[in-house]
Amino acid sequence: GALAARQTFPSSAPDEGGLPAAGYRAGILGAGFMGGVHSRAVRTGGGRVVSVAAADLDTARAAAPGMGAERAVGSVQEVLDDPEVDVVHVCTPNHLHVPLARAALEAGKHVVCEKPLATDVEGAVELAGLAADARAADGRVAVVPFTYRFHPMVREARVRVRSGEVGAVSLVHGSYLQDWLLRDSDDNWRVDPALGGASRAFGDIGSHFCDLLEFTTGHRIVRLVAQSATVNPRRRGADGVEREVATEDAVTLQYATDAGALGSAVISQVSAGRKNRLFLEISGSESTLSFDQEQPELLWEGRRDASRLLVRDPESLSAAAARYSRLPAGHAQGYQDCFDALVADTSAAIGGDVPDGLPTFDDGLRAARLAAAVAESVRSGGWVEVAA
Ligand code: SOE
């Protein structure tokens, strides 16, 4: 049944760090790396992890204590039928996102669904439509964790671009580089298009890059041309069997935005030594800002006369960035803090107070449209207009 969301979760007064403290009751689908990250964020926000379902009951049972889950259950249906579960977190391999998010919305739950929301545009359109219906019906919330939006220095960049301080933005470029699939003995479900989707490097991490670009600049990528490479055409799985690889290890792209900026990006999961380096540089007529996800406490501000490194310090950040600055300066924040903030803002949205920049199923659909444009350009070898 539908939840009386506004009554269940009154929006609490912001705590010292500016984020709401009210928690919610979560059911988590998936007990891998992401299931762990989500469950920590729920509990940090004062919420309960009521139940966890995984590939099978044994897997859920083994994972439950580490996730702080009160119950391990043997089926998704048990999570969906549980009146104690308000928010369903979908943290499974990608091919299950559409059926599970659909079922959770149909069961009257709020949903946080991992990215990619869907492995094709069709599925993302359907889920964005269901999410809009759920919002209209009873204020339900449907979130996709583009979590790098929650780094305070990313918010600071967004404020500085929006206020006009950077000037007219002419160039936005960068890269998102990892190395965890460098060797042909590296394997993962993401490599298999049946589980991960046809767009691998782009869908998995290129989507984060484009989301951050559009989030910080307020521009939209309207045109792009892309190339892709499968550096390891065969990979040996954990079972020792060698298989042909049908997804890309790397993508390079060039693009233009609706506000006339140009840029290029390199997206790779085979760049030795780069672990999770999302680098974004925005150049305007007054200044340049650059952000590196592996050094998230810093934002470089380049100027013709005096460049400087801005350090996360709640005392000196704009209010929109200070909201996400949970710790005093010098006490490093990072990846998990982004998830904690995403869950806190999801909780606020459930309470009826939708925070700026909460990534929704509409943003998941946007990522699916960009992935489709990249795939089409790789196929045709030409420039492609990105659907709005
Ligand atoms: C693996 O490439 C991965 O976990 C992505 O799936 C995430 O979206 C990214 O945040 C970190 O890397």
Determine the distance separating the centroid of ligand 1 and the alpha carbon of 235, expressed in angstroms: 20
* pLDDT at 22 (0 to 100): 72
Q: How far is the CA of 204 from the centre of ligand 1 (A)?
A: 6
How remote is the CA of residue 309 from the centroid of ligand 1, in Å? 27
Question: What local confidence, expressed as pLDDT, does residue 12 receive?
Answer: 34
From the alpha carbon of 145, which atom of ligand 1 is closest? Answer: 8
Mean pLDDT over 157-181 rounds to 98
First and final C-alpha spacing in the chain: 34
ipTM here: 0.96
Nearest CA to ligand 1 atom 9: 205
Determine the Cα–Cα distance for residues 59 and 193; give it in Å rounded to an integer: 24
Ligand 1 mean position, distance from CA 179 (Å): 11
Does the CA dihedral 119-123-129-133 come out positive or negative?
Answer: negative
Burial of 321 from C-beta contacts in 10 A (0-12 / 13-18 / 19+): buried
Closest ligand 1 atom to residue 335 Cα is 10
256: helix, strand or coil: strand
Question: Measuring from atom 5 of ligand 1, which residue has the nearest CA?
Answer: 204
206 Cα–ligand 1 center, Å: 10
Ligand 1 environment, Cβ below 6 A:
178, 204-205, 208, 276
**Residue 246, pLDDT above cutoff 50:** yes
- Mean pLDDT (the chain, rounded): 94
Which residues in 182-241 belong to E strands, given as ranges? 221-229, 234-236
- Amino acid present at 35: G
pLDDT score recorded for residue 21: 63
Q: Whose CA is nearest to atom 11 of ligand 1?
A: 276
For residue 77, the CA-to-ligand 1 centroid distance in Å is 27
Look at residues 162, 323, 320, 325 and name the one whose alpha carbon lies nearest to residue 311: 325
What was the pLDDT predicted at 14? 40
Residue 303 C-alpha to ligand 1 middle, in angstroms? 32
Ligand 1 binding pocket mutation candidate from 33, 190, 205 (most atoms within 8 A of CB): 205
Closest CA to 186 of 115, 242, 251: 242
The CA distance from 236 to 93, in Å, is 20
Give the span between the Cα atoms of 207 and 49, in whole angstroms: 28
Tens digit of each residue's pLDDT (9 = 90 or more) over 104-143: 999 999 999 999 999 999 999 999 999 999 999 999 999 9
Shortest-distance atom of ligand 1 to CA 208: 8
